[in-house]
Structure 1
């Protein structure tokens, strides 16, 4: 079929327009970021995720040259926010704080609206070892007395935590299995309300984040730390391992993007977050507050999540036996 001169011209025009559009798209991608970025916090204001986002916000704006807006999507132990993240456009203009093992455990246990593999980790920048704590007014002077009381009345002692199928939840499940007793786990929508309820006497104990326990050291008694080594904020407190409970639990925090986010966008944000994470002043601030500073890049963060996923799959299998 012979094409008219008009048809040929139209084909050439459309081809040129498409090529120009593609070139413009590539150019826009190369210029990332060109507008404000939303930093989604999936837990209550005042918690660790929120406080770290606020610390990073002005430094990110300086590095990226664009406004960074901290917003909230709270619920389901972080699942509501992470579900929104994986459904968003993969253009780098919505990123969310991520918590490990939450993003691993939740999809293993229930329908969450996202999978671990969908979240693209940019960097992991801090860790909080978990520790079992009671108020100073509590009758338990050490971990042995606490476990003895729990065994005497299984299910009577309540332990508060942040979220369901979270690090705090799995720590409680693991402790009761290893100790041969049962606790009443009480989930909260974040660490801030968890600690408030605990200090108000609404739960008997918490598996608390290390920074919260450092902040409230005058009001609480830390019975044992769920880490390989004693925590620098509570050097006199034994680890659970020292106490005969072979258990290590922590919360690692980082930043994640939607699936199929372009590599150059991941790399740009990775560089910005690592610049903050490696800053000696920021690291010193974190340590004083009870955090363990980390600076894992995209590749290291992805490998860490894959490693922890394999570990937690085995742990979950044990719970189901």
Structure 2
């Protein structure tokens, strides 16, 4: 999942997508199962012009919010499987939501055909925070168990799982304060209601000089933040974040699944698109439909469920 790894393969993806003569037949409805303005919406809108460039058709974005995405995902398989409808999907949501209760769908009901990016978890503090480094924060947490507080998006989110995993790795006990989303968590941080935030690299990008990132949960440093170390560099094997991709209804035939996968892969291969994503603080991955997707989902499922079980989020 290293950044910028497509190289020559990019041209093959583009050619393959452009050669899919039978798809799309017309404009494609791209359903985001959240409200407008979030990271899922932002990335979908970044994809739109590149889809039009490839096919001469529109990606028509619509929203179906509710239940942290569950309302949309529970209805995905009632939609046409002819490729006229695709839907955004998010991890860890589609794994943890069904594990925690009846949300109208199971993880295996979701046919993900391409995972194209993730927002890496990051510990973010105010610019005037006494924590200059990650070790400053860890030292304080060890000296004062439970008193270091983090804002973050809701319980069972990528932020929450990162906090649980890091506490375990560092041998500390911190307090996680769940908010309704990234925006609310940032407001709490900037208002000094918490010690720090378990946020994303996108928070560091959006807030600029108001905040400082202590570490990012990536395999290598983010190109937009070359001075911010990874957790791995600091001795903590943490690579995590909110992963996003595209799914189709289960009734979609193999050729449609492959065509949609190729299309999202071709967009992801576009150097201009990739740069715009990186400039926004996102990180790019390339997990296409098939064996790669199966292996990726199996690995993520094990990681998320084990962490959630240890934390008492699921039985």
Give TM class, smaller chain: 0.7 to 0.9
Deviates more, 1:241-250 or 1:126-135: 241-250
Secondary structure in 1 matching 2:243: strand
Q: Which residue of 1 aligns with 2:294?
A: 302
Q: CA deviation at 1:280?
A: 1.2
Q: Computing the radius of gyration over CA atoms, which structure comes out larger, 1 or 2?
A: 1
TM-score (normalizing by structure 2): 0.80
Pair 1:311 & 2:303 matched: yes
Q: Which residue of 1 aligns with 2:283?
A: 292
Deviates more, 1:117-126 or 1:232-241: 232-241
Structure 1 residues 44, 32: CA separation in 2 closer, same or farther (over 3 Å shift)? same
Equivalent residues, number: 292
Q: Of the candidates 64, 88, 92, which is equivalent to residue 83 of structure 2?
A: 92
Q: CA deviation at 1:152?
A: 4.0
Q: Over aligned residue pairs, what C-alpha RMSD do you find?
A: 2.7
Structure 1 residues 79, 197: CA separation in 2 closer, same or farther (over 3 Å shift)? farther
Deviates more, 1:56-65 or 1:114-123: 56-65
Secondary structure in 1 matching 2:37: coil
Pair 1:243 & 2:234 matched: yes
Q: Of the candidates 94, 104, 118, which is equivalent to residue 113 of structure 1?
A: 104
Structure 1 residues 294, 68: CA separation in 2 closer, same or farther (over 3 Å shift)? same
Q: Is the 8 A contact 1:126 1:253 kept in 2?
A: yes
Q: Of the candidates 255, 260, 271, which is equivalent to residue 262 of structure 2?
A: 271
Secondary structure in 2 matching 1:185: strand
Q: Of the candidates 20, 31, 44, which is equivalent to residue 40 of structure 1?
A: 31
Q: Is the 8 A contact 2:223 2:278 kept in 1?
A: no
Q: CA deviation at 1:91?
A: 3.6
Output the CA distance in 1 between the equivalents of 2:151 and 2:87: 25
Q: Which residue of 1 aligns with 2:250?
A: 259
Q: Which residue of 2 aligns with 1:4?
A: none
Q: CA deviation at 1:319?
A: 3.1
Output the CA distance in 2 between the equivalents of 1:70 and 1:302: 27
How big is each residue's C-alpha offset from its partner over 1:157-183, in whole Å with a ceiling of 9 and x where there is no partner? 332223332211100111223334433
Structure 1 residues 69, 242: CA separation in 2 closer, same or farther (over 3 Å shift)? same
Structure 1 residues 216, 68: CA separation in 2 closer, same or farther (over 3 Å shift)? same
How big is each residue's C-alpha offset from its partner over 1:1-27, in whole Å with a ceiling of 9 and x where there is no partner? xxxxxxxxxxxxxxxxxxxxxxxxxxx
Q: Which residue of 1 aligns with 2:67?
A: 76
Pair 1:220 & 2:181 matched: no
How big is each residue's C-alpha offset from its partner over 1:106-151, in whole Å with a ceiling of 9 and x where there is no partner? 3233333222211111212123321111111222222222223334
Task: Give unpaired runs (5+ residues) of structure 1.
Answer: 1-29
Structure 1 residues 279, 230: CA separation in 2 closer, same or farther (over 3 Å shift)? closer
Q: Is the 8 A contact 1:241 1:247 kept in 2?
A: yes
Output the CA distance in 1 between the equivalents of 2:26 and 2:180: 31
Pair 1:134 & 2:125 matched: yes
